[in-house]
A and B are shown apart, each in its own frame.
Chain A
Amino acid sequence: MLKLPIYLDNNATTPVDPRVLQAMLPYFTDIFGNAASRNHPFGWKAEEGVDYAREQVANLIGASEKEIIFTSGATESNNLAIKGVYEMYAEKGNHIITLTTEHKAVLDTCKHLEKLGAEVTYLEVQSDGLLNLADLEAAIKPNTILVSVMFANNEIGVIQPIKEIAAIAHKHGALFHTDATQAVGKVNTDVNEYGIDLLSLTAHKMYGPKGIGALYVRRKNPRVKVTAQIDGGGHERGMRSGTLNVPGIVGFGKACELARLEMGQDAARLSIMRDRLENSLLELEESYLNGNKDHRLPHCTNISFKYVEGEGLMMGVKDIAVSSGSACTSASLEPSYVLKSLGLDDDLAHSSLRFGLSRFTTDEEIDFAINQTKEAVMKLREMSPLWEMFKEGIDLKAIAWAEH
């Protein structure tokens, strides 16, 4: 029996893998010590758990364990990376380059720094969501200290040309940070292969618990330093104070180990399911894939359905938990800024759905999602005057609509 509703919003968060939960449980009760307690076995045992997890996390991204700073999640990691570099390298320059399609944790951090005197360039992306490398090259200035470009986008899943971006940053003496929240554990994110100096990651997007993440900070070629944003007991080599979330860290480590061992097979299986879902939905007339088809995550897709209104569509797919490009909460009708950055008109941005599959998604669930989405789109079009006009060949843009 299919259990409804079906969860297909795995870019928002994933369930904790039962194997991760099992690894965590002893650290709530038996091994509850403070990892910073140096005087007794309770502390030592907790520290052992943390040390092991730190290796597991490092191994997944090809780093050394000394380069992993545990944080509360990717938002904090992004804050630490960008604010920390801005403060640490203030003498070198104050210019930061990022994208308009970044997560708010990066954009709002940059906006904050602008108020403190930073100069920030927000590069537009192309209509497929990818950065044009020539635009990056042209934006670099003598005072550029940091380039921050996300590995994979949270709404459309496109994977940026990370290796090339890192190379351009380095050629001009700037550091390269990537928010890899969506990519780590899904695709290869080896920091040496890609030339990454700082990388943000979080556990809850990869079957780990919420409230734990990490920032990778390169220690060699070059040695990167960030100014701490949370002061206190000097934990995490002074870069992030605060008592370590030992059960969370242990779970994060286990999730990373499982991802390292299983992401290849997961990606192969999920991309087949994703393609089946996507191809079935694209069979509908006037439906469009958002983002580059070739450079993207294996487990998600984002599709717009023209002549269907977003909120009505969400109501029609009530048994599948997905995300809509329409952020129309309350009275404001503000469509996704990421989709707008691709050049989509408001109507297409509003009527988009993001589907995110997980390790636990089944073929039956995909069948159900295909059917319910198709039915909802067809039903809403049947009652849409715009669809009727489109079918009659009327140009909707030529009509003088009464704005209200």
Chain B
Amino acid sequence: MAYSEKVIDHYSNPRNIGTLDKSKNNVGTGLVGAPECGDVMRLQIEVDEVSGTITDAKFKTFGCGSAIASSSLATEWLKGKSIDDALKIDNMDIVEELALPPVKIHCSVLAEDAIKAAINDYRAKNNLAPIEVHSL
């Protein structure tokens, strides 16, 4: 399988690998996928509670190069965004940016799910109603 240059770049130099303290109230954690399916993504955001801006984002992914690249790219895009803007990230934006082939679209869907799951985890911690996640 031929990977795009951007996928190879994210795979070789992944951005924002790591772990945030999930016990903190302003940290949201999303864990999506399943080991049997060959992809598990964990995406975390740290939110400035006053401004509602995402100040930090980290990920860890078990999966193919496209899954790693999708989550790495997502963390890059999340940093500095408001929660509202973060919710606007669509999986097709990731597909386009990374030039993912059709068989790898599910990696971008998983990344979008991970973003929404992280936001919902943050919202739940702060007694806010969950936003609807369509694709899970």
Residues of chain A touching chain B, judged by Cβ–Cβ distance below 8 Å, are 307-312, 315, 328, 330-331, 333, 346-347, 350, 380, 382-388, 396, 401-404
Contacts of B3 in A (CB 8 A): 315
Query: Taking A315-B11, A402-B32 as contacts, is the C-beta distance between A328 and B38 under 8 angstroms?
Result: yes
Interface residues of B in 42-95 (CB under 8 A from A): 42, 59-65, 67-68
Kindly state the separation between the CA atoms of A312 and B60 in the bound complex, as whole angstroms: 13
Q: Is the CB of A386 within 8 A of B38?
A: no
Do residues A383 and B60 form an inter-chain contact, with CB atoms below 8 A? Answer: yes
User: Which 9 A-B pairs rank lowest in CB-CB distance, beginning with the nearest?
Assistant: A401-B34, A311-B64, A385-B42, A385-B60, A384-B62, A315-B65, A386-B62, A383-B17, A331-B103
| Chain A residues positioned under 8 Å from B62 (CB to CB) | 307-309, 312, 380, 384-387
Residues of A within 8 A of B136 (CB): 402, 404
Beta-carbon contact of A404 and B34 below 8 Å: yes
Task: Return the CB mask of B23-47 against A: 1 if under 8 Å, else 0.
Answer: 0000000011111111111100000
Total A-B residue pairs with C-beta atoms closer than 8 Å? 82
**Closest chain B residue, CB of each to CB of A396:** B35
Minimum Cβ distance to chain B for residue A398 (Å): 12
CB-based contact A311/B65 at 8 Å = yes
Given the interface pairs A315-B3, A396-B35, A402-B34, the reply to whether A383 lies near B68 with Cβ below 8 Å is yes
Chain B residues contacting A311 (CB-CB under 8 Å) are: 1, 38, 63-65
Q: Are B14 and A333 interface neighbours, CB within 8 A?
A: no
At the interface, is chain B mostly helix, strand, loop or mixed?
mixed
We find that the number of chain B residues with CB closer than 8 angstroms to chain A is: 32
Q: Which residues of A contact B115 (CB under 8 A)?
A: none
Given contacts A315-B3, A404-B106, A404-B110, contact A383 B35 (CB under 8 A): no
Most chain B C-beta atoms within 10 Å of own C-beta, residue among A346, A383, A396, A401: A383
Asked if B60 contacts A384 (CB within 8 A), the reply is yes
Q: Are B38 and A350 in contact (CB under 8 A)?
A: yes
Contact of B17 among A309, A350, A382, A401 (CB under 8 A): A382
Distance of A307 Cα from B31 Cα, bound (Å): 16
Nearest opposing residue in chain A for B3, CB measure:
A315
CA A403 to CA B60, docked complex, whole Å:
18
B4 contacts A by Cβ under 8 Å = no
Q: Within 8 Å of chain A (Cβ to Cβ): is B126? A: no
Q: Are B61 and A384 neighbours in the complex by a CB distance under 8 Å?
A: yes
The interface residues of chain A lying within 8 Å CB-to-CB of B67 are 309, 312
Task: From A309, A330, A388, A396, give the contact of B63 (CB < 8 A).
Answer: A309
Distance (Å) between the CB of A392 and the closest chain B CB? Answer: 10
The residues of B that contact A312 with a CB separation of less than 8 Å are: 11, 62-65, 67-68
Closest chain B residue, CB of each to CB of A308:
B62
Least Cβ distance of B13 to chain A in Å?
A: 11
A386 and B103 within 8 A (CB): no
Contact check, A309 vs B38: say whether CB atoms are below 8 A apart: yes
Q: What residues of chain A lie closer than 8 Å to B32, measured between beta carbons?
A: 402, 404
Question: Bound complex: CA of A311 vs CA of B68, how far in Å?
Answer: 11
Complex: chain A residue closest to B63, CB-CB: A309
User: Residue on A with the closest CB to B104?
Assistant: A331
Tell me the nearest residue of chain B to A332, going by C-beta. B103
Bound CA span A315–B17, Å: 18
Q: How far is the CA of A117 from the CA of B109 in the complex (A)?
A: 48
Task: Please name 22 pairs of A and B residues whose Cβ atoms are closer than 8 Å in the assembled complex, sorted by A.
Answer: A307-B62, A309-B67, A311-B64, A312-B11, A312-B67, A312-B68, A331-B103, A333-B38, A382-B17, A383-B59, A383-B60, A384-B61, A385-B31, A385-B40, A385-B41, A385-B61, A401-B36, A401-B40, A402-B136, A404-B32, A404-B33, A404-B39
Q: How far is the CA of A379 from the CA of B73 in the complex (A)?
A: 18
